[in-house]
Amino acid sequence: MVKCIDKTACRFKLMASRDAMEVIQGKWKIPIIISLSFGNKRFGEIKKDIADISPKILSQELKALEMNQIISRTLFDSMPVTVEYALTPLGKSLGPLLDEVLKWGLHFRKQVVKK
Amino acid sequence: MVKCIDKTACRFKLMASRDAMEVIQGKWKIPIIISLSFGNKRFGEIKKDIADISPKILSQELKALEMNQIISRTLFDSMPVTVEYALTPLGKSLGPLLDEVLKWGLHFRKQVVKK
DNA sequence: GAAACTAGTTACCTTTTGGTAACCTAATAT
DNA sequence: ATATTAGGTTACCAAAAGGTAACTAGTTTC
């Protein structure tokens, strides 16, 4: 039975995984990132993509993603003002992680959910 | 600007990612899985590995992971009884996902957290 | 008889997350 | 004047997640 011998390395791993999870955790962050992976979008477009998200939650989650530098927010002073959200390079770098999440989700569904 | 044209495929993706996230979401599930990736462990050993988890939460999370068939629970009727937890093949199949989480977490920390 | 070890459970409480409904500002169209 | 569009905000509420402290059962050692 192998133990977590190098405790510093182990703690470092736990820290890194917690960091990553904090960024993508919650009901709506991954759907928003997936929506933006199909191209830059405006507030209303994301809202239309994700059917049952409320404006309050969408606004809140977009702010959180922006603070973590996953997305950018650009204001155009057209009339009426439009706002464009886009994935940053850091946001795009989530691609492989999200692919794995998706892949494993399908595997899980095949094995356990079974419908 | 590309949209999510194939709506059925898109909904399927969202469903799969939500399934996966439900299994690994929360403050303690990934730490528990990482702990068990170092070998089968008993309740008290996992508790020692994860320093600040309370027995209530550990018990709760182990039950959830067992229900999702990520871990197995084996009772030995020694004196006093001991219980061994282990990753199932499905649990082990989370390996690549967790590697990506870890990798991205380190990348994120280098780029954003910066200390 | 008292303490310790195993693997938890229970009651209670706080914090975080998610959700609804109504409202706001500025401009343009009817 | 009124409705509509865009991009939100606000107040209020419910549910889920997380945490603390104390307690349980059975057995063994001091």
Where in chain A does DSSP place strands (E)? 41-42, 71-76, 82-87
Distance from CA(A96) to C1'(C8), angstroms, rounded = 39
Query: Which residues touch A110 (CB under 8 Å, ≥6 apart)?
Result: none
Position B5 confidence tier, pLDDT thresholds 50, 70, 90: low
- Find out whether A59 and A73 touch, Cβ atoms under 8 Å: no
Candidates A31, A93, A105, A44; CA nearest to A68 is A93
Per-residue model confidence as pLDDT tens digits over A22-64: 999 999 999 999 999 999 999 999 999 998 999 999 999 999 9
Choice between A78 and A17, residue whose per-residue pLDDT is larger: A17
- Find out whether A112 and B67 touch, Cβ atoms under 8 Å: no
Nucleotide whose C1' lies closest to the alpha carbon of residue A27? C18
Q: Is the pLDDT of residue B1 over 70?
A: no
Per-residue model confidence as pLDDT tens digits over B20-79: 999 999 999 999 999 999 999 999 999 999 989 999 999 999 999 999 999 999 999 887
Q: Is the pLDDT of residue B4 over 70?
A: no
- Find out whether A72 and A85 touch, Cβ atoms under 8 Å: yes
**pTM recorded for the entire structure:** 0.92
A83 touches strand D (CB under 7 A): yes
- Find out whether A40 and A85 touch, Cβ atoms under 8 Å: yes
pLDDT reported for residue A6: 64
* Percent of chain A residues past pLDDT 90, beyond the cut: 78
With CB atoms and an 8 Å threshold, state whether B102 touches A16: yes
Which of B17, B23, B104 shows the shortest C-beta gap to A93? Answer: B104
Helix B7-24 crosses helix A95-108 at what angle (to 10 degrees)?
90
Which chain B residues touch A98 with a CB distance below 8 Å?
Answer: 17
Where in chain B does DSSP place strands (E)? 41-42, 71-76, 82-87
Reading the block at residue B46, the tokens are 């996992």
Beta bridge partners of A84: A42, A74
Per-residue model confidence as pLDDT tens digits over B91-108: 999 999 999 999 999 999
Backbone angles phi, psi at A72, to 5 degrees: -115, 155
DSSP type of residue B112: I
With CB atoms and an 8 Å threshold, state whether B102 touches A20: yes
pLDDT reported for residue B105: 96
CA atoms of A98 and B13, how far apart (whole Å): 10
